[in-house]
């Protein structure tokens, strides 16, 4: 993969004379570097894969969010654009932002809730029903039973956890299937509200990395993000959600399904790991070696009932035991 020189980037984006070489920040889905020039400090992103349509959608939404006053990094326009804020340098599509200097951790609960609400208000989709990517976590009972049967035949240690876990998996699957047709609040959104995509600057938090823009249920994304940033702890999670509601976000329709996106993630990760274990799919980097994968499957199966009950408990604490019209079943197995 071609790595552009500091001088090439500086010329392509009109940044002034470089005062040093590129300093690598991260290698992964994109290569990123820090560049210092006489004009300032910059964050440089070199795309590894370049889906033109996806990048265009993401940049368009990023621009609208920026106009709406959301705290995002300042993009630098190239002199000769390939697409929007992207230039081609050699064979490499590249973006540049003004560098955001991190200053340490602070409580971002109120900021996060308010920012999610703002983002969700920028581009409502105006349709009912969860987007198609939610269905990646949905597999019928016969598929799960077949996976466990094959695992047992192959002597996998985790196969014996079937009876305690499959009913809970199917309960989550049922809730996702039902909401796929009725979720009322689909919006275009950042798509990856996680701590590593938030930089605490001297002037406050900044939401970075707009490469995962997608559609989602506003309330279900808010529930998942609040759970992640709140580390599953009720008080912190509720502070984020209180700020979300105060800024105009709506949660009430979810009832006990408020944290369904967290549950969906658990069973999707589990299904991906099981398929690799059984030879149906190829392992990807975060899964580790075979021993690590087998241990991860066993741990998640063992912990799943308690994890799902904790999510249901958080929703009950947030919304009250008698919330809703009885249509939400929570995640527990009957």
Which domains are seen in the chain, by residue range? 6-98 (3.30.200.20), 109-319 (3.90.1200)
Residue 142 has pLDDT above 90, yes or no: yes
Residue 329 clears pLDDT 60, i.e. is over it: no
Of 229 and 283, the structure prediction assigns the larger pLDDT to: 229
Judge whether residue 71 has pLDDT over 90: yes
Helix (H, G, I), strand (E, B) or coil at 83: strand
Question: What DSSP string describes 10-39?
Answer: HHHHT---BSS--EEEE-SSEEEEEEEETT
pLDDT recorded at residue 330: 55
Question: Is-contact 108 205, C-beta < 8 A?
Answer: yes
pLDDT at 235: 95
For residue range 105-125, list pLDDT tens digits in order: 889 999 999 999 999 999 999
The answer for residues whose C-beta is within 8 angstroms of residue 279's C-beta and 6 or more apart is none
Query: Rounded to whole angstroms, how far apart are CA atoms 74 and 58?
Result: 15
Average pLDDT over residues 226-240: 96
- Among the listed residues 93, 85, 95, 31, the one whose alpha carbon sits nearest the alpha carbon of residue 60: 85
Rounded to 10 degrees, the C-alpha dihedral 148/154/159/162 comes to 20
Span 44-51, mean pLDDT? 93
What's residue 331's pLDDT?
Answer: 59
> Which pLDDT belongs to residue 231?
96
pLDDT tens figures, 154-186: 999 999 999 999 999 999 999 999 999 999 999
Res. 328 pLDDT band, cuts 50 70 90: very low
Q: How confident is the model at residue 323 (pLDDT cuts 50, 70, 90)?
A: very low
pLDDT at 333: 57
CA atoms within 13 A of residue 19's CA, in its CB half-sphere: 9
Q: Is 122 exposed, middle or buried (0-12, 13-18, 19+ CB in 10 A)?
A: middle
Binned at pLDDT 50, 70 and 90, residue 104 comes out as confident
**Res 320 pLDDT > 90:** no
Q: What is the pLDDT of residues 4-38, one digit of tens each?
A: 999 999 999 999 999 999 999 987 778 999 999 99
Average pLDDT over residues 310-314: 96
pLDDT for residue 291 is more than 90: yes
The predicted pLDDT at position 64 comes to: 97
Helices 162-179 and 141-153: angle between axes, nearest 10 degrees: 150
Q: Is 125:215 a contact under the CB 8 Å cutoff? A: yes
Structural contact between residues 40 and 98, judged by C-beta atoms closer than 8 angstroms: yes
Q: What tokens does 81 get?
A: 């654009």
CB atoms within 10 A of CB 158: 23
Average pLDDT, stretch 50-65? 95
Average pLDDT of every residue of the chain: 93
Distance CA 328, CA 318 (A): 15
The tally of CA atoms less than 13 A away on the side-chain side of residue 111 is: 18
More confident of the two residues 67 and 27: 67
What's the pTM? Answer: 0.91
pLDDT tens digits, 186-214 = 999 999 999 999 999 999 999 999 999 99
Please tell me the predicted confidence (pLDDT) of residue 325: 39
């Amino acid at each position: 993969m071609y790595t552009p020189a500091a001088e090439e980037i500086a010329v392509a984006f009109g940044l002034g004379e470089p005062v040093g070489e590129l300093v690598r920040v991260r290698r992964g889905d994109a290569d990123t570097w820090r560049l210092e020039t006489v004009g300032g400090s910059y964050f440089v992103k070199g795309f590894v894969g370049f889906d033109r349509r996806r990048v265009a959608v993401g940049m368009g939404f990023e621009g609208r969010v920026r106009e709406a006053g959301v705290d995002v990094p300042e993009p630098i326009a190239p002199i000769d654009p390939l697409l929007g804020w992207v230039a081609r340098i050699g064979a490499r599509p590249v973006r540049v932002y003004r560098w955001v200097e991190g200053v340490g951790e602070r409580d971002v609960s109120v900021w996060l809730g308010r920012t999610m609400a703002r983002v969700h208000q920028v581009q409502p989709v105006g349709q009912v029903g969860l987007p198609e990517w939610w269905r990646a976590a949905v597999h019928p009972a016969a598929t799960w039973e077949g996976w466990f049967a094959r695992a047992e035949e192959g002597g996998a240690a985790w196969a014996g956890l079937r009876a305690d876990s499959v009913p809970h998996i199917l309960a989550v699957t049922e809730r996702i299937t039902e909401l796929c047709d009725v979720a009322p609040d689909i919006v275009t959104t950042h798509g990856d509200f996680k701590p590593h995509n938030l930089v605490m600057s001297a002037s406050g938090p900044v939401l970075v990395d707009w490469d995962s823009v997608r559609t989602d249920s506003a309330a279900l994304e808010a529930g998942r993000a609040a759970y992640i940033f709140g580390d599953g702890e009720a008080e912190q999670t509720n502070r984020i959600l209180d700020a979300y509601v105060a800024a105009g976000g709506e949660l009430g329709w979810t009832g006990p399904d408020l944290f369904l996106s967290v549950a969906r993630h658990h069973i999707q990760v589990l299904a991906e790991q099981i398929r690799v274990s059984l030879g149906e799919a190829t392992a990807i980097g975060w899964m580790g070696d075979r021993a690590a994968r087998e241990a991860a499957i066993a741990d998640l199966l063992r912990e799943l009932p308690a994890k799902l009950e904790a999510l249901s408990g958080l929703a009950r604490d947030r919304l009250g035991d008698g919330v809703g019209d009885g249509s939400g079943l929570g995640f527990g197995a009957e």
